[in-house]
Structure formats: C-alpha cells, structure tokens
C-alpha cells in the first residue's frame, strides 16, 4: 500500500463530508407556502385513521385539515400557530411527534450510555478474570486450520 | 449486598405489569378533549330540512350536539333511541342537534326513515369543518353545552340511557331520571 | 360434529402438554429417561391434536358452518375457498389455534431431533416448550374458544375482514411471521435449560445456532412480506408506518439479531453468559408482548383484533415468563460472571458488541415510543401520539451507525486490529465511497439521507467484495482453481461467513432502497374527467373511464373502478378501485402499482363522481421500491445458505489429506 494512499483517502473523505454538509445544510431559499404546508401536514395526525398523517391520508377529514393548513399558511400563520390551532381542538394527540424534549432525549441518552458503558469496559484495566468453566471454549479446542481465518492479519 | 441482585426481578416486572395493565378498560381510540370547560365552538349550518340554524339561536339554553352517520353501524343505531327519548323528555329544557359526519344527505334521510325521526334538526356539515372544530375523531361523539355556552361534557362512543343522564346533569341542574 | 372434534382436540392438547411439562420436570430431576420418552411422545401428540383442531376449523370454514361463531364472524357463503382457508388465521381465536399448531410443531421437531443427545438439557428444554404450549391450549379452552357455538344459527355469515381479501399476501405474511415468533421459543427453552442445569458453557449456544437462525429468517421474511402487503394494499404509498403492531413484530427481531451476533462472540471467546441469556429471554418475552399488543386492544392499530378477555391472560403469561426467567438468571448469576472481554479495543468482538449496544438501543427506542402514549395516559390522563416523525428521527441515526458497523465489523480480525490492517482494508473502499458520493453530489443529488446511505453502501459493499475476492484469490492460487470455483468452494466450506456476507448485502440493498424511495419519492393529487391527463415524474396518466360493478369473485362486493392508461418509462393501463364490502364501514382502496426495477408508478383512487365520471387520483412515483423486496429475498437466501449443513467429514479431509481428523466433527444442530 503506497504510503500516501490512506492519507489521500482520509483527506478525500473529509473533503466530501464537508462539501456535503455545506451543500445540504446551507440555508436554502425560504420554503414556499406549499412546502411549508406539506411539512405541517406530515406532522399532523389524521383524526379518523390509524396513525397516518393528514399528508398520507385519503379521508375527507384529512383533506379538510389540509385545506385549513393551506388557509392558515396563506394567512401568514407561523408553524407554531398552525400547530396550536389544531391542538386547541384535538389536544396534543393531533401532533404526530411529542413536543416534550424528554421524549427525544431519553432514547438518545440510553444509546449513548450503553456505548459509554461498553467503551469503559473495553478500555478498563483487566483484572484477573475468574477461571473459565471446565470445558474448553470453542477457541481453545484444537481446530482444523481455516484458510479464510489465515487471511486475518 | 448479594441479596440486592434479586431486586432486579420486581424492579422490571412490576412497572411493566402496571403499565400494560393500565391499558385495560380504556378505549385506545378515545382522546381527551381540550374543549371541556371552554366556550363551545360557534356554528351556522343548514339542516336536512333546508333551514339554517346557528349556535346563537340556542344562546341561553343548554344544548346537545350529536355527531353521527348512516354508515356508523351498530353504534349510531344503538344510541338513536336514547337521543330520541331524551329529546322527548326534555323538549323545552335542552335542545338536541344532530350533525352528519362524512355522510350524504340521502343516506342520512334513509337512516332516519328506517330508525325513526325524533324531530330534532340534523345539520349537514359540508367539508367536515364543524367536526374539526369540535375535535371529533369519528362518529358517534356527543357534546353537552350549558346555558352559558360552556362545553361541559363529551361522550366518546354511543350513548346509553345512564350515560345520557349523567351528562345531562352537567348542563341541567334539575335533570333527574 | 366437526366442531366437537375440534374442541375435543384442543382439550386433548391441553392435557398432553400439561402432562409433558410435568413429566419432563420429573425426568430432569430424577433422571428417568422413560419419563422423557413419554413426555416427548406427549408433545408430538399435542402437535397432532393441534393439527386436528386446525383441520376441523378449515373444514368448518369451507363448509360455511355458521353454527361455529368464528365461522359466522369470518366467513360467508360467497367467500371463495382460498380465502376461507386462510381465514384460519384471520381473526383472534383462529390465529391462536394456528399459533398452537406451529408452536407444537417446533417443539416436536426439536425434541425428536435431539432424542438421543444433550441428555441434561433436553428435559428442561422440553418442559419449557411444553409449558408454553400448554398456555396456548389453555387460552383456547377458556377465554378464546375457536369452536364456540352460536345460536340461533344464521343463514349467512359476516364474511372475512375486507382488508384481508384484497391480496394474496394474506396467505403469506401471517404464517411467515408466526413461524418466526413460535420458533424463537426454542432458543429460549435451551437458555432456560442451560441456566437450570448450570451447563453455562458454550454448548447451548452451539445447539441453538440454527434453531435461532431459522425462525429469525422466517420473522425477517414475515416482516418484509407485511411491509410489501401494506404497500400494495393500503393505498397510502408507504410500507412502514411505525404502527404499534408493526413495532411489535420488529422488537423480537432486533433482540434476536443482537443475540445471533453476540452468540458468535461468546461461542468463539467464551464469556458474555449473562448477556446472551438475557437476550434470549428478552426475545421470547418480546414475542409475547407483541402478541399481547395485537390482541389485547390496549393500543389502537391497523391490525388490532377486537378487545377481548384474552388480554389479561397474555399479560399474566408475559409477567410469569419474565419473572420466572429473570429469577432463574439471578439465581445462577454467580456462575455466569466473568470472561468475554475482548482483548483488543478495536476488533471484531468489540464491533459485534457495539452492534449489540446499538440493536438494544433501537429496541429500547421502539419500545419506548410504542408504550409512551400508554404511560402518559396512565399517569396524567392525557392522550399523545408518537408517530412516524418521532420514530424516523430517533431510529434512523442508529440504523445508519449499524450500517457502518455492518461493513466494518466483518473486516476486522478477531483479537486486536493493527493500524496497518485497518489501513489496508479500508483505504480503497473509502476512496470508492468518496468518489461515488462526490459524483452523485455533482450529478445533482441533494437529499442528505440518500447521499449518506449511498456513500455508506459503497463503503460497506467495497469492504465485503474485498473480503470475498481476497479469499477466492488466495485459494485459487494455492489450489490452482479458477476464481469462480474457488469462490464457490470457499463459500460452501464457510457457510456461516459467506451466508453472513449475503445477508449483509441484502440489508445493504434494502437500506439504499429505503433511503432513496423515501427521499426521492414524488406524489400529487389530481382530479380528472374522462379523457383528461396529468403528468408526474416522466409519466403521462390519462383517465379513461369510471366503472361501477359487482366483483365476479364475490358478488356482494361493489367495486368503483377508475380505468387509467399511462405512458412514460413504462406504458400500459391500470385499474384502481374502491371496494365496498358489506361488513365494512369505509370503502377499501385497491391501489394499482406498476413496478419496474427503477421505480414504481402507484395510483390510488380517492374519490369519484358517478354523475360526471370524474375521479380524484393520488399519483406517486416511488423510486427503487422493488429493491426493498429483492433485498429482503437476498437476506432470506443468505440466511438459508448460512444454515445449510456443511459436509463436515469432507471439510477436514480435503484440506489436509495427510491428517487424520483431530477430533470427531463438531456436533452441529
């Protein structure tokens, strides 16, 4: 392996990642009314379906809510005001994602905690582990050589 | 400290059991209404008979708004006589108003012809706007508004005579069975 | 008479499984092998009883015996025979009967296969399986009797649920799923047996390897089939809605996948005993939780069977199973501790363990999201929703991390990975991934998720291809075989590894297809009079006419059908309809899907005006959707390849012709 190839790969990766981030995260043009309405419709629950958003649902109540969203957006309402309009009628249930930050933080925290515990376990100094039980583990049993394993560095 | 490990069992089992058990007896589709205790939505709609009716006409009187549909079987069929009986018993004290939910007028009239027309008006909710104002998720749902225009109670699902009594008592101090 | 035979067979099944459970426990404690034999025969007898019960129900359905309440509620004189047969699992009581058939089938199979082996483990495994099956028979005897009679006997039945009649996949999705669910009781039973007998070394892991992979394969195919059915039938253009019952099927799949991976580490390096035992317990308990959520009526779902008295029974089963297995685990805890720490911080073992952390994180997230509304309602009385936006935001990052790990993990060696190894393995794939992503960016692809998934897919794919090519090249050189033969021979002698590659490849294909079909799908809603055209994504769609008529196959069903022609990358005609079933409030949509390798044209009828013949259509162009199903098939195929038995004796002899086999072949499942 040529010496500079890995460095090139890493550098290329970082460059593309940065470029992608810039292109994707750059504040784009203001979303149009139709786009805003679409995003809002995807976040509101269809009242007489099983868990679908009003964007996906064919029912007449979903269509009416989409009409109301369009009217509200055209009338200058912010996203929060549109949400508040429907929450006043249906309660928090009409929003497809919970607003409380705890609902978002808890699962992420659990994953991070799990990874941290794993990391700590891997990195901590090894105490003498108790002797393994009498039977040899699969690794310790004599095995025919495996030519694929032989490839492992 | 060795005994502490046994705590894992009740610590995992009891909360899980409590959580899953708590769901019994509750209808998962019933949502809590944020309108209770607040002013009921205002409305102006046309009835099946062609007359225009508005919430202002009912100001000062308690009234009941019942969302139903001809395709809502058997729930709306079951509660139909309950509403008719209440209308007859409390004709002068409470106004009852029916509202069609996602239904065609012809089908609704067929339903009334078959199951009886108690005589109170049925409004045609074109576009379903009123249903959204009241936060209705599907028929039957019934709302009880007192004489000051404050929404006091909501019935999710079909009404029965005892339930009707209970809800009417929130808008009619003198209601008794 | 047939219903009575059916009912009797259920009673017999209950008796046999209770006897088997008791006999197995006695045999385990006393060592009497005759009790074991008798118990095993009783389990096989319970399978026969379940089969008789299913046959009785199918006959009742086919003969439209409306004296049986289940038949009256799920069948009608106009129901076609095929639908009649699959109605066996269409509703609550029948589905439990079908479940009992499969569960007793698995138990009989495993007990028969190991009748002369693992003499310490088998009685306890048998007792566990028999107890589980006894529970299902008990549910059928008391709260959920499939052969309950109804009177007076009507002349006509309600007919099957409308949604179930629309698509042949109803024949496929539940059986695959149930085979997965019921099969996952077997590794659980062996885990319990290992804990009970204190045989806590890797023996039970070796035994359950195939007995986990086979149900896992069925569960995977069942979930994919469910998504495919949902896409083809429900008409909203999507395939996964994070519905509570969909989540219920996913949860045991996640823990089972985690178990498969950590079992590999434990088998090779020892240790991880607490972890693997806990995983196998969690998998089984989650299958019960899934069944409970579907049947108890405590969550609203597309799938919900009606709320019934069965709920409390399943809740009791969940709590007893969880409490019992946890108690056993805690009791044996001293013997389980120790070992298993990987020697290298960056190694295949640590990659597998990180994989487990992520899978368990996913499990927690999905469980949390599914149960949160229940928790909020129980504590504050408020109703909230946790829907697709929340699930997608929380789970997609974890899936992406898993995708990355899936490429990196198998390329790392066991033990410590050196910097040199990593450079060698990952440099070229990284360059390739970077190039492809840059090219896609330059060509105009701006959707972040699609770009990221594409780049990851190239990275992972290149690493995998590199692995396979290396192995084939080395073997081809040393044996003078051509590359194709070398690869095939290598694959068939290392089925687990190469099957694993194929499974990962399938997952990769599915991941890219999901990312691109979600990110780049376009849709619009149009109202067209006859003769009018609308365009979407390169297609011109023209509404020809509106037809209203009864279905030929079931004359009680009225179909309102839009006949449409389309031109573009594909051309042709299609029909999309709304069907009015007599026992359903809302009309059932039958969308039309025209599939090509590149994209799907998907058309749903929303509304129609019979007076003018105008229709309101929802049009979609969904790119790459078919690759999700193809990817699923690759996963299934890879799993089958991995499970397929290797020719053991030959394996040792051919590689070292002079060497006498050093040991008897490792006993495989």
- In this structure, the answer to whether residues C527 and C430 fall within a common structural domain is no
The pLDDT score that the predictor gives to residue C183 is 97
- Tell me how many domains chain A contains: 2
Q: Which of C128, C145, C160 marks a domain boundary? A: C160
**What stretches of C217-318 adopt beta strand conformation (E)?**
none
Q: Which residues of B touch C (CB under 8 A)?
A: 5-6, 8-9, 12-13, 16-24, 26, 28-32, 71-73
CA geometry: angle C370, C371, C375, nearest 5 deg? 150
Q: Which of C104, C126, C160 marks a domain boundary? A: C160
d(CA C655, CA C612): 77
Asked if the peptide bond before residue B134 counts as cis, ω within 30 degrees of 0, the response is no
Instruction: Give the residue with greater pLDDT, C127 vs C492.
Output: C127
- In this structure, the answer to whether residues A83 and A32 fall within a common structural domain is yes
Q: Is the pLDDT of residue B56 over 60?
A: yes
- In this structure, the answer to whether residues A78 and A114 fall within a common structural domain is no
- In this structure, the answer to whether residues C496 and C401 fall within a common structural domain is yes
Instruction: Give the residue with greater pLDDT, A15 vs C640.
Output: C640
Q: Which of A45, A74, A94 marks a domain boundary? A: A94
Domain B33-175: give its CATH architecture: 3-Layer(aba) Sandwich (3.40)
Q: Do C398 and A111 touch (CB under 8 A)?
A: yes
> Cα C265 to chain center, whole Å?
24
Per-residue model confidence as pLDDT tens digits over C598-634: 899 999 988 888 888 899 899 999 999 999 999 999 9
Per-residue model confidence as pLDDT tens digits over C417-446: 777 877 788 888 888 988 898 888 888 777
User: A57, A64, A86: best mutation site toward chain B, by most B Cβ within 10 Å?
Assistant: A64
Instruction: Give the residue with greater pLDDT, C669 vs B126.
Output: B126
- In this structure, the answer to whether residues A106 and A62 fall within a common structural domain is no
Contact C602, C521 (CB under 8 A): no
In a domain, A143, yes or no: no
Is B129's Cβ below 8 Å from some Cβ in A?
yes
Per-residue model confidence as pLDDT tens digits over C343-391: 777 788 888 999 999 999 999 999 999 999 999 999 988 899 999 999 9
Neighbours of C197 (CB within 10 A): 17
- In this structure, the answer to whether residues C404 and C541 fall within a common structural domain is no
The pLDDT score that the predictor gives to residue C588 is 77
In a domain, C621, yes or no: yes
Neighbouring chains to A with at least 3 Cβ pairs closer than 8 Å: B, C
Share of chain A above pLDDT 70, in %: 75
The domain limits of chain B are 33-175
d(CA C486, CA C480): 9
Q: Is the pLDDT of residue C593 over 60?
A: yes
Is A48's Cβ below 8 Å from some Cβ in B?
yes
Task: Tell me which residue of B130, C421, C225 sits closest to A60, measured CA to CA.
Answer: B130
Q: In terms of residue numbers, what domain contains C540?
A: 521-626
In a domain, C208, yes or no: no
In a domain, C154, yes or no: yes
**Which tokens is C24 given?**
């197995």
User: B28, B73, B154: best mutation site toward chain C, by most C Cβ within 10 Å?
Assistant: B28
- Tell me how many domains chain C contains: 3
- In this structure, the answer to whether residues C509 and C594 fall within a common structural domain is no
d(CA A122, CA A145): 28
For C381, phi and psi rounded to 5 degrees?
A: 85, -5
Is C169's Cβ below 8 Å from some Cβ in A?
no
Chain B residues touching C382 at Cβ < 8 A: 32
| Closest CB to B131 among A61, A87, A88 | A61
Q: Do C330 and B72 touch (CB under 8 A)?
A: no
Provide mean pLDDT across the span C148-168: 82
Instruction: Tell me which residues of chain B, numbers 106 to 125, contact chain A at a CB-CB cutoff of 8 Å.
Output: none
**Which tokens is C257 given?**
């996948």
pLDDT category at C664 given cuts 50, 70, 90 is very low
- In this structure, the answer to whether residues C401 and C454 fall within a common structural domain is yes
ipTM of model over 0.95: no
Mean pLDDT value across chain C? 88
Per-residue model confidence as pLDDT tens digits over C443-472: 877 777 788 888 889 999 999 888 888 888
| Closest CB to C322 among B5, B13, B26 | B13
Q: Which residues of C124-147 are buried (b: 16+ CB within 10 A; e: fewer)?
A: bbbbbbbbbbbbbbbbbeebbbbb
Residue C406: its H or E element: helix C388-408
- In this structure, the answer to whether residues A90 and A103 fall within a common structural domain is no
In a domain, A28, yes or no: yes
In a domain, A135, yes or no: no
The pLDDT score that the predictor gives to residue C585 is 61
pLDDT category at C658 given cuts 50, 70, 90 is very low
CA geometry: angle C145, C147, C148, nearest 5 deg? 70
Least confident of A140-144, B71-75, C589-593: A140-144
Per-residue model confidence as pLDDT tens digits over A27-72: 677 778 888 888 899 999 999 888 889 988 878 888 899 999 999 9
Beta strands C522-528 and B151-156 are: unpaired
Q: In terms of residue numbers, what domain contains A121?
A: 99-128
Coil, strand or helix: which one is A95? strand
Supply the DSSP symbol for B96: E
Least confident of A74-83, C447-456, C537-546: C447-456
Neighbouring chains to B with at least 3 Cβ pairs closer than 8 Å: A, C
d(CA C410, CA C472): 16
d(CA C579, CA C588): 5
d(CA A122, CA C309): 49
The pLDDT score that the predictor gives to residue C340 is 67
Per-residue model confidence as pLDDT tens digits over C209-265: 889 999 999 999 999 999 998 898 888 888 999 999 899 999 999 999 999 999 988
**Widest Cα–Cα separation across chain B:** 79
- In this structure, the answer to whether residues A83 and A122 fall within a common structural domain is no
């Amino acid at each position: 392996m040529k010496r500079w190839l890995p460095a090139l790969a890493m550098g290329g990766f970082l460059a593309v990642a940065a470029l992608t981030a810039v292109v994707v995260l750059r504040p784009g043009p203001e979303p149009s009314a139709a786009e805003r309405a679409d995003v809002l419709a995807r976040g509101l629950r269809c009242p007489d379906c099983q868990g679908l958003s009003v964007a996906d649902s064919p029912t007449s109540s979903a269509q009416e809510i989409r009409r109301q969203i369009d009217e509200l957006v055209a009338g200058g309402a912010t996203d929060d005001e549109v949400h508040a309009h429907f929450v006043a009628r249906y309660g928090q249930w009409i929003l497809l994602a919970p607003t409380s930050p705890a609902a978002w933080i808890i699962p992420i925290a659990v994953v991070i905690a799990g990874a941290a515990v794993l990391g700590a376990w891997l990195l901590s100094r090894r105490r003498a582990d108790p002797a393994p039980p009498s039977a040899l583990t699969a690794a310790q049993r004599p095995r025919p050589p495996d030519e694929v394993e032989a490839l492992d560095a | 400290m060795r005994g502490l490990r046994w705590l894992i069992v009740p610590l995992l089992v009891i909360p899980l059991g409590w959580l899953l058990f708590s769901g019994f007896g509750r209808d998962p589709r019933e949502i809590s209404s944020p309108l209770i205790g607040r002013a009921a939505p205002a409305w102006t709609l046309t009835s099946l008979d062609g007359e225009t009716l508005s919430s202002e006409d009912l100001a000062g009187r308690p009234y009941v708004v019942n969302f139903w549909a001809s395709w809502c079987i058997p729930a709306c069929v079951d509660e139909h006589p309950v509403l008719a009986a209440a209308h007859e018993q409390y004709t002068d004290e409470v106004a009852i108003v029916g509202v069609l939910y996602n239904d065609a007028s012809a089908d609704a009239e067929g339903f009334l012809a078959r199951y009886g027309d108690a005589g109170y008006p049925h409004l045609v909710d074109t576009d379903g706007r009123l249903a959204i104002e009241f936060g209705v998720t599907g028929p039957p749902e019934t709302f009880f508004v007192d004489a000051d225009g404050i929404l006091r109670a909501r019935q999710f699902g079909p009404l029965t005579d005892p339930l009707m009594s209970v809800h009417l008592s929130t808008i009619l101090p003198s209601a008794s069975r | 008479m047939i219903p009575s035979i059916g009912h009797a067979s259920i009673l017999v099944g209950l008796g046999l499984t209770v006897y088997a459970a008791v006999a197995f426990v006695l045999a385990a404690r006393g060592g009497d092998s005759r009790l074991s034999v008798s118990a095993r025969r009783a389990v096989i007898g319970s399978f026969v009883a379940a089969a008789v019960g299913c046959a009785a129900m199918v006959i009742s359905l086919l003969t439209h015996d409306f004296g049986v309440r289940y038949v009256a509620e799920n069948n009608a004189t106009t129901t076609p025979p095929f639908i009649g047969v699959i109605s066996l699992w269409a509703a609550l009581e029948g589905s439990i009967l079908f479940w009992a058939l499969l569960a007793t089938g698995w138990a009989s199979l495993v007990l028969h296969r190991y009748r002369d082996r693992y003499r310490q483990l088998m009685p306890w495994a048998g007792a566990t399986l028999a107890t589980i099956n006894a529970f299902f028979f008990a549910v059928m005897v008391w709260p959920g009797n499939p052969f309950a009679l109804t009177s007076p006997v009507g002349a006509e039945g309600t007919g099957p649920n409308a949604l179930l009649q629309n698509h042949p996949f109803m024949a496929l999705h539940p059986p695959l799923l149930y085979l997965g669910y019921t099969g996952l009781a077997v590794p659980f039973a062996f885990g319990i047996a290992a804990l009970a007998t204190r045989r806590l070394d890797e023996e039970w892991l070796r035994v359950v390897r195939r007995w986990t992979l086979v149900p896992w394969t069925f569960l995977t195919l069942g979930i994919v089939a469910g998504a495919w059915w949902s896409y083809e039938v429900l008409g909203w253009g999507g395939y996964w809605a994070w519905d509570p019952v969909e989540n219920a099927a996913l949860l045991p799949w996640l823990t089972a996948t985690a178990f498969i991976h950590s079992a590999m580490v434990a088998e090779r390096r020892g240790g991880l005993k607490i972890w693997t035992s806990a995983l196998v317990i969690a998998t089984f308990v989650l299958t019960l939780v899934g069944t409970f959520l579907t049947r108890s009526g405590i969550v609203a779902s597309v799938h919900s069977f009606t709320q019934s008295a069965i709920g409390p029974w399943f809740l009791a089963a969940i709590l007893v199973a969880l409490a019992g297995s946890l108690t056993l685990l805690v009791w044996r805890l001293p013997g389980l501790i120790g070992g298993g720490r990987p020697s290298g911080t960056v190694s295949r073992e640590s990659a597998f363990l990180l994989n487990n952390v992520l899978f368990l994180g996913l499990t927690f997230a999905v469980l949390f999201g599914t149960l949160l509304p229940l928790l909020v309602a129980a504590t504050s009385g408020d109703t909230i929703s946790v829907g697709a936006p929340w699930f997608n935001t929380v789970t997609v990052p974890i899936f992406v991390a898993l995708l990355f790990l899936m490429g990196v993990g198998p390329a790392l060696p066991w033990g410590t990975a050196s910097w040199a190894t990593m450079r060698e393995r990952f440099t070229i794939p990284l360059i390739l991934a970077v190039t492809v992503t840059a090219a896609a960016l330059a060509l105009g692809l701006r959707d972040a998720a699609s770009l990221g998934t594409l780049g990851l897919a190239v990275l992972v794919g290149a690493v995998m291809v590199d692995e396979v090519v290396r192995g084939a090249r080395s073997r081809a050189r040393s044996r003078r075989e051509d590359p194709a033969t070398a690869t095939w021979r290598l694959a068939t002698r290392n089925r687990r590894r190469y099957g694993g590659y194929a499974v990962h490849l399938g997952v990769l294909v599915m991941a890219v297809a999901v990312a691109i079909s979600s990110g780049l799908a376009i849709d619009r809603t149009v109202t067209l009079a006859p003769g009018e055209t609308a365009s979407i994504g390169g297609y011109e769609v023209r509404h020809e006419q509106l037809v209203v008529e009864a279905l030929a196959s079931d004359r009680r069903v009225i179909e309102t059908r839009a006949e449409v022609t389309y031109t573009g990358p594909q051309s042709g005609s299609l029909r999309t309809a709304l069907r009015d079933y007599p026992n359903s409030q809302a009309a059932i949509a039958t969308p039309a899907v025209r599939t090509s390798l590149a994209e799907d044209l998907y058309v749903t009828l929303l509304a129609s005006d019979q007076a003018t013949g105008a229709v309101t259509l929802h049009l979609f162009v969904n790119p790459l959707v078919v690759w999700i199903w193809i990817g699923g098939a690759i996963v299934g195929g890879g799993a089958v390849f991995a499970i397929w038995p290797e020719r053991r004796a030959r394996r040792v002899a051919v590689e070292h012709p002079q060497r006498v086999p050093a040991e008897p072949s490792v006993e495989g499942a």
